[in-house]
A and B are shown apart, each in its own frame.
Chain A
Amino acid sequence: MRKRSASIAIARDARTKGLQRRWRVGERVIEGGIFLASLLAIVVLLGIVAVLLRQGLPIFAHTPPWEFLFGTKWYPVSEPPTFGTTTFFVATIWVPVVATVIAVPIGVACAAYLAEVAPSSVRESVKPVIELLAGIPSVVIGFIGLLLLSPLVQSMFNLNTGLSGLAAGIMLSLMSLPIIVSVSEDALRAIPDEFRQAAYALGATRWEVVRHVSIPAALSGISAAIMLGVGRAIGETMTVLMIAGGALAVPVSPTQPMMPMTAAIASGIGNAVRGGPQYQALFAIGLLLFLITLAVNLIADRVLERQKRKFVR
């Protein structure tokens, strides 16, 4: 009885208050939590930038920016020391370019096969294996490159040493491949089947459907996949340290030994005097690397945004 009257009271209460604004505490807490989490990410990012700026910028009192950027002489311990980083910069272009040129066609083809052609049994067994490839530690990839690939590169191109941008790029392509395959495959599978149906009904062959319908429709996702792969190749350190060759001359060809920016920082930071000019210069390289990856990401964002705006439903 008590229960019943209570529920009637609640019902009446609800009738009068039904339209009143309610203070949904749970919602507020969740919203606040999400806000704090994203704030934290931004704070951390700004913190990183601040550290890089604070540790790196003082070098420009010693070496002017243009000399730092366009100088080719990196002699941190000579007297006076010089800090030109062009060598590293060019190496940081070569290695990801090689990696991308190899990984993109193979990765996209592989994704197209898995998403469009392979029976689901094949897809379900192959995809985890490819994703497993992403989990191999980069040191191990470095070992394999050192042991197997660099002799091969050396004999194939008749070089003095197989340790080169080419060898590093090939190994890095193995590392960006899983990302490209996995993300592209997801993008292709997200394309509604009605586009494929329409193309088949117009008399397109399977290859034509993949080439002219599925891949163009999934292009934004595929470009995102490629950018993630490129990002991985730019930032990778251990593998390039082990097999890129580490030479301090501006590389004019990918078959030369070279030292990308990541490798320069990793190999130099141990010997640098804390707070000294070399230390500052290495941080400035880090800052430059950060700007490069930022630029790659921004460009990718712009491309995707344009792509999306063009053809959204």
Chain B
Amino acid sequence: MKLDSALTNSRPPQYRGTKLSTRHLNLFYGPCQALRDITLDIPERAITAIIGPSGCGKSSFLRIFNRMNDLIPGARVEGSVELDGIDIYHRSIDVVELRKRVGMVFQKPNPFPMSVFENVAFGPRRHGRVSRGELQDIVESSLHQAALWEEVKDKLDQSAFDLSGGQQQRLCIARVLAVEPEVILMDEPCSALDPVATLKIEDLMRRLAEKYTIIIVTHNMQQAARASDVSAFLLMEGDICGVLVEHGPTAELFTKPKDRRTEDYITGRFG
């Protein structure tokens, strides 16, 4: 299997602490249950891949961690979700502060209809007074971190829409980095990109994982195998309900899956 060679990149995650954890997590959209009884630890400063077929609840699961599901009328969460041991669904939690610590990159690149500079400056501008000089520094270092600086340093005042799709997605990553989060959630960040742009983003993720905890949703098995340290496999059971079938170090999950359904899915035998 081609996956094996890709796996040599990934590092053993067992030395790292736990950044995020869910315990007996249930998610409902009105009367429909989207996730059932999910208990999972997300290791710190590593890349965790969430894999599974379309509609099994991967995006819903990802939105649990920055409480984006709060924006959906009728969405309800049961169980506990902890960030550094703190229950993020507790009444005393300020979602604005939470989302500063847990950033998100979306499936389709969604830069604001503003200049490249203003896109990156958006977060810092909202979160307190920063001088023009500080802002400049933040924007530059964020773009550097997102491996985009060289390509856009002369276009900071141009519309973000003038960039290519891959550049736009890295701009969205820079925009998240500018807020200095601890966790970055990525929902199929490469699904709208070509293979070259995809590899650039994966490269970038690898480097970012030295500093940040990353959770990536992907339905590309190669990508999960190449780019992640830990994988979790979700599947729908019954009508719509997403359950966690198996999770563990990516190398093990892909070479020695414990569950028959995982094996079927990663070898592409799944319906």
Residues of A bordering B, CB below 8 Å: 192, 194-195, 197-205, 208, 212-213, 216-217, 310-313
Contacts and interface: CB of A to CB of B under 8 A. Distances in A.
Given A198-B106, A212-B122, A203 B112 contact: no
A198 B113 CA distance: 12
Given A194-B110, A208-B126, A201 B68 contact: yes
A198 B126 contact: no
Nearest to B71: A200
B50 interface: no
Interface string B217-252: 000000000000000000000000000000000000
A200 B68 contact: yes
Contact of B99 (A192, A201, A313): A201
B260 to A, nearest CB: 37
Contacts of B95: 203
B122 A194 contact: no
Contacts of A205: 96, 126
A202 B110 contact: no
A217 B112 contact: yes
Contacts of A311: 113-114, 159, 161
Interface of B: 66, 68, 71, 95-100, 103-104, 106, 108, 110-114, 122-123, 125-127, 159, 161, 172, 175-176, 179
Nearest to B108: A194
B26 to A, nearest CB: 23
15 contacts: A194-B110, A195-B112, A198-B111, A198-B175, A199-B112, A200-B99, A201-B68, A202-B99, A202-B175, A202-B179, A203-B99, A203-B179, A212-B122, A311-B114, A312-B161
B104 A201 contact: yes
B267 to A, nearest CB: 34
B6 to A, nearest CB: 30
A201 B5 CA distance: 35
A202 B108 CA distance: 16
B61 to A, nearest CB: 15
A217 B113 contact: yes
B89 to A, nearest CB: 17
B103 A313 contact: no
Given A200-B71, A212-B122, A195 B113 contact: yes
A197 B126 contact: no
A192 B106 CA distance: 14
CB-based closest 6 A-B pairs: A311-B113, A203-B99, A201-B104, A194-B110, A203-B100, A202-B123
B97 A203 contact: yes
A203 B231 CA distance: 27
A194 B114 CA distance: 14
B122 A202 contact: yes
A122 to B, nearest CB: 14
A310 B172 CA distance: 19
Residue among B106, B114, B161 with most chain A CB within 10 A: B114
Nearest to B96: A203
A20 B161 CA distance: 41
Contacts of B106: 194, 197-198, 201
Given A197-B68, A198-B106, A201-B99, A216 B123 contact: no
Contacts of B126: 202-205, 208, 212
